[in-house]
């Protein structure tokens, strides 16, 4: 009977550790591949902001063009205060020019500022990270294209929580405890 109770305690510990761990594979962005048009996104300051077939993954992508200055494509994300998040997205331009730019901010706080230089004409992956400072975080892409300079494309926006080291440690302890208990039972 003691083994059964001990096993139950270990299983509860393991389940608890797993439920505390953020799901590192869950994208918290709504419609990050733009398959549903601009649903979940807000466009401001653009002359043209829409979606088009031919994204990085072969489906849709967000596109902007012929803007006078910067436009903002944004979405408010549900986040956990103090949690680190990984961010990944793909972008390209129809013309290789420095007039087409892209930048990203979180709650108006710059993360590396604008991606300068000559805009890529092939799909290019960008990764960065941020730490949430509140339960809601506004992620904003700042896109610039001057009249006649081409189109900027954005696709496959993914934001995932990074598990805290202590959570991974709890999960490891739970697994170790189950393994040791199994070995003890076999002996």
CA atoms of 168 and 129, how far apart (whole Å): 19
Q: What is the pLDDT of residues 45-103, one digit of tens each?
A: 888 899 998 888 778 898 888 777 788 999 999 999 999 999 999 999 888 877 788 88
Q: What is the pLDDT of residues 134-155, one digit of tens each?
A: 999 999 998 888 777 788 899 9
Instruction: Give the CATH fold of the 24-162 domain.
Output: Jelly Rolls (2.60.120)
Residues in Cβ contact with 182 at an 8 Å cutoff, skipping those fewer than 6 apart = none
pTM to 2 decimal places: 0.74
Cα 177 to its chain centre, rounded Å, is 34
CA atoms of 165 and 78, how far apart (whole Å): 22
Instruction: Point out which residues pair with 49 in neighbouring strands.
Output: 64
Domain boundaries, the chain: 1-21+164-187, 24-162
Tokens 């087409």 label which residue? 100
């Amino acid at each position: 009977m003691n083994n059964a109770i001990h096993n139950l305690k270990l299983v509860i510990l393991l389940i608890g550790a797993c439920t505390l761990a953020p799901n590192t594979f869950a994208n918290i962005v709504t419609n990050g591949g733009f398959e549903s048009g601009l649903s979940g996104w807000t466009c401001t300051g653009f002359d043209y902001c829409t979606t088009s077939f031919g994204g990085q993954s072969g489906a849709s992508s967000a596109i902007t063009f012929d803007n006078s200055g910067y436009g903002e494509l944004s979405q408010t994300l549900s986040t956990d205060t103090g949690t680190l998040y990984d961010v990944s997205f793909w972008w390209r331009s129809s013309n290789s020019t420095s007039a087409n730019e892209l930048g990203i901010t979180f709650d108006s706080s710059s993360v590396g500022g604008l991606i300068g230089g000559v805009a890529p004409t092939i799909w290019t992956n960008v990764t960065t990270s941020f730490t949430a400072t509140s339960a809601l975080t506004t992620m904003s892409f700042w896109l610039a294209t001057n009249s006649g300079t081409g189109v900027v494309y954005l696709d496959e926006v993914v934001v995932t929580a990074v598990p805290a080291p202590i959570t991974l440690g709890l999960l490891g302890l739970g697994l170790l405890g189950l393994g040791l208990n199994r070995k003890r039972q076999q002996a």
